[in-house]
Amino acid sequence: MKRIRKRIVTAGALFLAALFLLVGRLVQIQLISTESFSKHNINLIDESVRQRTHSFMINEGRGLLLDRKGEMISAELKPAIILFPFIQDQKGTIDEVANILGKSTEEIKNALKDHEEPFVIADDEDQITQEAMEEINGLQRPGVYAQYISRTKHSPFAGALLGVTGQAPEIIKKKYPDKLEKGTITINTKIGKTGLQQAFDPFLISEGETKLIYHVDRSGSPLFGLDVKYLSPSNPFYPVSVKTTMDSTLQGIMEKAIKVSHIKKGGAVLIDIEKNELLGMVSVPYTSGLMKNQMLSQHAPGSVFKIVTAASAIEHQDLANRGTFDCNLGIDGKEAKHALGTLNFSESFAQSCNRTFGLLANEMMKEDPNMIDEYAAKLGLAGTTGWRGQVYHYPDFAQFPEEETGNIWGASSDKKVPLAVSQTAIGQKNVQVTPLAVANMVAAIARGGAVREVKAATEIEYKNGTTFLSFSDHKKENKIEPYTAKKLQMLMRDVVTNPKGTGRALNGLPYKIAGKSGTAEKGDSKTSNKWFAGYFPADQPKYAMVVVDLDYKGGANPVLSAYSDIVKQIYENDKKNK
């Protein structure tokens, strides 16, 4: 008997303990941890409301990227008809909608049948006219709305430049704790992950979604009648728009030309010389949206870097006029792979003689071991090239946050090694620069020697079109002399006009070209970087452009082919718009 009683007491105690645990758990869920339940900090109140709320997002509230003409490039507006499931219980409503849209009643009923959330008929499949939208809204039927909905573009057009958005809860918590606290964003709000979306994210990030919502009971029926609410942010100035410098037409021309040229890794950069604004940028491959932008990454420039060595030679004791050079020899004094004969300085530049620039660099480095560094800086190849400065309360705002800095030397001791100096002078060894920086260097030469930072955006506008802030021009302090720039212009033009020049394939185009080619050998020796950096028209400079193939395997030169194609189409576009 005692044993039975003991078992009953034990069972009772266990039951009471389990009951207390259950009550405690309910207290925790209902009263204590309602806003931060479990290790995942789940807000149970929000989740409960979410389960009882059906909504349709019209606009996620993120700011827009515009091209230089003010056209949207990061998102698109589409006419749409939004149908809430409860209209199935409204007599005649579906018939009216079907009649206006030219569809059958059964077609719309079947579409709604399996939907618990609002169903949208968008302009992707249907030609929804403005008249149809006005007629739909004129019905004034609960659960039936005609709206222009905004959706982010996920197309490869200018993908590397514009970048992508996505969810990143940890970054949200770190960068925007004040917005989280205010409730204008959640940890699932999309942020810019790459490109201009990343650069301007502090301004573009959503200040609240615009959506249609209604509440349902457990069975899915409307909880408060058929009242659908329209919710939107209260601030009339947001979302803002970033007006970029990109020319959509020229961007399209560049993308098509790079694709046709079969450049698999590389791309192109186009700059407006007068304003020093980025007109277009193509980087391939581009598939996931998170791939590295090759135009903002370091690469060996090869003979394009001879522009720096030439500028130094022109400004110091006029070494460029010292005589001729034996271009049958390479930089090591041995027989060259491509014998070019005896050439003077201008001919050496046009035909890209390595021997000439190796010798000149060693002579100059004896006088000043920082000579190459100094002229690389004067031509904008040191540091970064993109616009950077104080913006609002951001002390070091960068329009190209992914841009890598240029590099000239691997070790300072190389400056005392003749072969290392020669290799550096022709853009090999440890020289690494970005295509954006090279395009900017060319723009500076075409302009007369003054280097500026490249802008990708000119201003940020409020929702009502007024200016929130503008980006002023940033000039670099160091620059080459006007005489040096003029001499470089002549040398670069000769690269194209000289019958033996490395850019002679570009002679005879509708716009006269001045530039410099480059081939940088890689460690694997199977591929090389193939460049052409130039500006046009040569007599009235308007555009600076770089095209580069970072996986060149020999044979026909895709860089010159793409360069030629782009120049021709830009000429036709300019002629059409005169």
Whether the CA torsion 135, 137, 143, 149 is positive or negative: it is positive
| DSSP characters over 306-331 | HHHHHHHHHHSTTGGGS-EEETTB-T
Spatial contact of 196 and 67, defined as CB atoms under 8 Å apart: no
What is the DSSP code (8-state) at residue 206? -
Whole-angstrom distance between the N-terminal and C-terminal Cα of the chain? 109
Spatial contact of 264 and 284, defined as CB atoms under 8 Å apart: yes
Active site residue 303: yes
Whether the CA torsion 272, 277, 280, 284 is positive or negative: it is positive
Spatial contact of 333 and 345, defined as CB atoms under 8 Å apart: no
Q: What's the CA gap between 529 and 552, in Å, rounded?
A: 6
- Catalytic residue, candidates 303, 312, 352, 564: 303
Q: How many Cβ atoms from other residues are within 10 Å of residue 160's Cβ? A: 24
Element (H, E) at 362: helix 354-367
Q: What's the CA gap between 252 and 67, in Å, rounded?
A: 12
**Which bin fits 518, alpha (ψ -120 to 50), beta or left (φ > 0)?**
beta
Task: Return the amino acid letter for 91.
Answer: K
DSSP strands (E only) in 333-427 = 342-344, 388-391, 394-398
Beta-ladder partners of 428: none
**Paired tokens of 94:** 């579906």
**Paired tokens of 509:** 């185009």
Number of residues that make up the chain: 578
21 exposed, middle or buried (CB, 10 Å; 0-12, 13-18, 19+)? exposed
**Paired tokens of 374:** 């100094």
What's the number of CA atoms in the CB half-sphere (13 Å) around residue 166? 11
Residue with tokens 């728009």: 241
Spatial contact of 348 and 327, defined as CB atoms under 8 Å apart: yes
179 exposed, middle or buried (CB, 10 Å; 0-12, 13-18, 19+)? middle
Task: Return the amino acid letter for 40.
Answer: H
Q: What's the CA gap between 46 and 35, in Å, rounded?
A: 8
| DSSP characters over 501-537 | -TTGGGTT-SS--EEEEEEEE-TTSS-EEEEEEEEES
Element (H, E) at 351: helix 345-351
Q: What's the CA gap between 30 and 362, in Å, rounded?
A: 79
Residues classed as catalytic: 303
